[in-house]
Chains A and B, each alone.
Chain A
Amino acid sequence: MPWLIPRGLAAALALLLFLSAPARAQEYEALLPGLAGGFAQQAETVERLGLLGDPRAIPLLQAMADARLLRLADGSLAPQQGATPPEGATLIRINNRVRGALRGALGRLQLVSPDPAERSRAAEGILRNRSAADIPLIEAALAREAQPPIRARLELALGGARLASEDVAVRREGIAALGASASPEARGQLLAARAANAELLPDIEAAIAAIDRRLQLRRAAETVFQGLSLGSVLLLAALGLAITFGVMGVINMAHGEFVMLGAYTTVVVQELCRGIPELAPWSLPLAVPAAFLVTAAIGAAMERGLIRHLYGRPLETLLLTFGVGMILQQVVRLAFGAQNREVISPDWMMGTLLLPGGVAVTQNRLWIILFALAVLLACFAAIRLTRFGLEMRAVVQNRRIAATMGIRTGRVDAMTFAFGSGLAGLAGVALSQIDNVSPNLGTGYIIDSFMVVVFGGVGSLMGTLIGAFSLGLLNKVLEPYAGVVLAKVAVLVGIMLFIQRRPKGLFALKGRAADQ
């Protein structure tokens, strides 16, 4: 919005006129050394710079907040340019207290900035560091602001600032403004104001009640999201098993280690991309096919080399794959070290996204839900639409007849197992975004995955989907009442009882195939 710039500048100038220019400049110069003092002095200086309103402070304060402000050898302050500070310069360190003051000061200084993102941050900063002195500033900013989300924040900030006013009538206005929102911060401010406002107590209680009504729905929505998120993690971890165990009947105790290998592939891809600036932001999407291929290849090798000798003896494959899991875990530990490996999240996966209705969802988990669904769809497509899927289904239904029709059953077995292992690798890519990347990564998921597959019904992808999401939701609904551990125990006992009622799970295969 280009028209904002001149008006914004004009407003800044108008603010500057409150003080006589030379005196202000002098005070500005006098304040600056305080930025290099102790934390208490720093915080006070920052606050005063914010109130002073000299725009020259903005780059300095911003640099300070980003830990880039240097004290040069001659004692002057300057933001750091380039990667290494010049000779004799020291970095100015801050702490949380200074950081909080910086946010408020930058908020005051940037409230009239031409950049909407900066104005939005500024409104947020003022909301958290409000004082009655900010009322004219916010009112001026509100009069100019055209963007609804920033206006909403400014109005909240104004409400907060009014709540801090001396005048009862102004405070009452502030309470009404805060009560009209659905903001937890507003609720917190109202709660905090109760003690000092005995005469306004009924207004405050009413405002809090109004916010609570609005928040209730949102909380329910957030619980559902948490459940879906847990469900999507379970789904990803279990999909590979749904193929190897559900379709082929192989109990792959090394499944968790395949997940772990997928996560380590992500680490390796990221390391490789680090050298190439164009690729670096894309390392995570690139890791998806890489992880699939790596784990699928290892899976195929394992099937051809070991597992195929044990078909029809599922319990022995359990022991064999347990041994393989031990080996894989230790090999990774020796190759990569026992420590956690860092996986950088791309910016589009960090932070929170506000859905309509104010429901806050974390971006990484949202992406994982979408990714899980995409992988599931791809699975369906691979099984239903491709030649490989057709052959796979044929071999599962009747191996001998499939063989007489010219299907190379051995190759199909290898490919099916590779497919399942590749899916585990994909789970590893997703889990690298929320969990530790360490050699133990897989062990935590193996039992849950088996539970999901058995609960959903062995051999049914639909069952795995429904199973994963219903277990995730159930867990998250129980959690606030029973606590994390008991919720999980309750879910496990529930599954045991359910299996007892329906031994073949939610979606049992019917017909002859079910009896094998």
Chain B
Amino acid sequence: MNRRLVLMLCVLALAALPAFNALPADHPLHVPDFLVSVVGKWICYAILALAIDLAWGYAGILSLGHGAFFALGGYAIGMHLMRLIGPRGVYGHPVLPDFMVFLGYTELPWYWLGFDWFAFAFLMALVVPGLLALVVGWLAFRSRITGVYLSIITQAMTYALMLAFFRNDMGFGGNNGFTDFKELLGMPLNTGATRAVLFYASLVTLVLVFWGCAHLTQTKLGRVLTAIRDAESRTRFLGYNVTRHKLFVFVLSAMIAGLAGALYVPQVGIINPSEFSPGNSIEAVVWVAFGGRGTLVGAVLGAFSVNALKTWLTSVAPDLWLIVLGLLFVIVTLLLPKGLIGLLRRRGS
């Protein structure tokens, strides 16, 4: 049973995609840009799934608001991308992005300061989700809100953020969000080379996050987390500071989600408040459950397979895909409590 080899083969197969894309278009092995960009997107989803799995699968914290952390990370990098447009906007304003120009802003709001620097924006993509998770988590875990209640609280969090970000007066572009990005770190965004760079950046991040999570769950800290998941009160009575442990993993998970969002936005070219919609967060949880919660491979597999199915079905069965996907969710939760990975493992052994 050489799991590591299989995983490495998978990573290699993914890594080969942009290379095949670079082949001439009439080459039989040529991979269209579409596939590179769509798989790049799935990789970001897989990172988000890992973040959710870390909190839910290992520490029993089911957040239905992880989409918010993902979106905040995306917004942070989106703000940087907007700043990089500079005077190339439609109205040619030297400082303000287009949406601010026609909403009548005269100067950049203070919270936009600093986003000219990539390092700052990247830091914010981690810090802002982390801080939000710290506050919400501290409030919730301190008063021992668990299980379903926590899920509903986090859902309210992402819903409130969605409503707030939809407001044009917030200074984040309202419903249209940010689009029309030009470049990142000096690379124009609409070229195959940049797509390949972003693809590899996402893939490397995925591997690193996977590796980090795998290690974390093997350490003593990881074991305590699993203990909290399985018997919170008992762990508390054994003298562990449950609140602090949960807070740590929740914040870490939020930061990973923010990172995923930061990688996602330059690849899809748009960030808007519907990323905060509670449905998106639930969907991300569904990926994890579909693949198999509590196993990191399962989370990644779930993110890839559900999204691949979605991409495929929305084209071949545009009227029926919701029904097919819905049925799959029902079947998996009913018959495969351990998800796809459980099925694969059962057949493997």
Contacts and interface: CB of A to CB of B under 8 A. Distances in A.
A331 B327 CA distance: 12
Given A323-B328, A500-B139, A488 B322 contact: no
Given A323-B330, A500-B140, A500-B143, A316 B149 contact: no
B101 interface: no
Nearest to B142: A500
B145 A500 contact: yes
A334 interface: yes
Contacts of B152: 450-451, 454
Contacts of B82: none
B189 interface: no
Interface stretch (B122-130, B155-163, B217-225, B248-256): B155-163
A496 B327 contact: no
Contact of A315 (B148, B153, B166, B325): B148
A306 interface: yes
B334 A320 contact: yes
A514 to B, nearest CB: 13
Interface residues of B, number: 42
A370 interface: no
B5 interface: no
A253 B330 contact: no
Interface string A370-383: 00000000000000
Contacts of B286: 319, 322-323
Interface of chain A, helix or strand or loop or mixed?
Answer: helix
A488 B164 CA distance: 9
Contact of A251 (B148, B164, B327): B148
A253 B151 CA distance: 12
Interface residues of A, number: 41
Contacts of B327: 323, 327
A451 B159 CA distance: 11
Residue of A306, A310, A503 with most partner-chain B CB within 10 A = A503
A253 B323 CA distance: 16
B163 A330 contact: no
Nearest to A489: B160
A32 interface: no
Contacts of A334: 319
Q: Which of A313, A326, A334 has the most CB of B within 10 A?
A: A326
Contacts of B155: 447, 450
B8 interface: no
B310 to A, nearest CB: 11
A489 B322 CA distance: 30
Contacts of A319: 285-286, 289, 329, 333
B330 A329 contact: no
Interface in A320-354: 320, 322-327, 329-331, 334
B278 interface: yes
A503 B159 contact: no
A318 B285 CA distance: 10
Contacts of A496: 136, 139, 153, 156-157, 160
Nearest to B145: A503
A500 B334 CA distance: 33
Given A315-B151, A326-B323, 13 more contacts: A251-B148, A314-B148, A315-B62, A315-B147, A316-B337, A323-B326, A324-B330, A326-B325, A485-B167, A496-B139, A499-B149, A500-B145, A503-B145
Closest 4 CB pairs of A and B: A323-B329, A326-B326, A327-B326, A330-B322
26 contacts: A249-B148, A310-B334, A314-B148, A315-B62, A315-B147, A316-B289, A319-B333, A320-B329, A320-B334, A323-B333, A327-B330, A329-B322, A330-B322, A330-B326, A447-B278, A454-B152, A485-B164, A486-B167, A488-B163, A495-B156, A499-B149, A500-B143, A500-B145, A501-B143, A503-B143, A503-B144
